[in-house]
Amino acid sequence: MARTYRYISGDSHLEIDSKHWIDRVPAKYRDQAPRLVGQADGSDAWKIGENIVRPAAAADLYGGKGRDEYVPFGGRYEGTPGTGTPEQRIKEQDQDGIDAEVLFPSQQGGPKFWRRIEDDAAYKAVVHAYNSWLAEEYSAVDPSRLIGVGILPLTHDVADTIEEMEQCLTAGLKTVLLQGFPSGKAYPSKEDDPFWAAALDLKMPVSVHVDLDRTGDRARPLFKYPQEPDELMKNLSQDLVYQVGRFGPVRGNGSVAAVQWVLSGLFDRFPNLRIFFAENQIGWIPFFLQAADVRYDRHVRWAERLLGFKPLIRSTLRGFIDIELGIGLQITEASLHVSHGKAWVGLPSKPVLDADGRHLVQNGKKQYRAILAWRNKRLSDAFSRAVVALVIERHPGALDDGGVP
How confident is the model at residue 88, as a pLDDT? Answer: 97
Distances (CA, A) of 230 to 189, 216, 235, 238: 21, 22, 9, 15
> In the Cβ-directed half-sphere of 150, how many Cα atoms lie within 13 Å?
28
Residue 176 in contact with residue 165, Cβ under 8 Å?
A: yes
Over the chain (405 residues), the average pLDDT of each successive run of 10 is 88 96 98 96 95 94 90 93 96 96 95 96 98 98 97 97 98 97 96 98 96 92 95 93 88 85 91 91 87 90 95 71 70 72 77 90 88 82 80 63 41
- Longest Cα separation, the chain: 79
Q: Let me know if 279 is exposed, middle or buried by CB neighbors in 10 A (0-12, 13-18, 19+).
A: middle
Element at 121 (helix H, strand E): helix 120-133
Kindly report the pTM of this predicted structure: 0.82
In the CATH hierarchy, which fold is given to the domain comprising 8-307? TIM Barrel (3.20.20)
Residue 286: the pLDDT is 85
- Are the beta carbons of 184 and 212 closer than 8 angstroms? no
Beta bridge partners, 55, equal 45
Q: For 184, what's the count of Cα atoms within 13 Å in the CB-facing half-sphere?
A: 10
pLDDT at 252: 64
The pLDDT of residue 334 is: 77
> What DSSP line would sit under 320-345, residue for residue?
EEEEE-TTS-EEEEEEEEEETTEEEE
For the chain, the structural domain boundaries read 8-307, 320-394
DSSP 359: B
pLDDT of residue 1: 63
Non-local (6+) Cβ contacts of 92 within 8 A are: 63, 81, 82
Dihedrals phi, psi of 358, to nearest 5 degrees: -100, 155
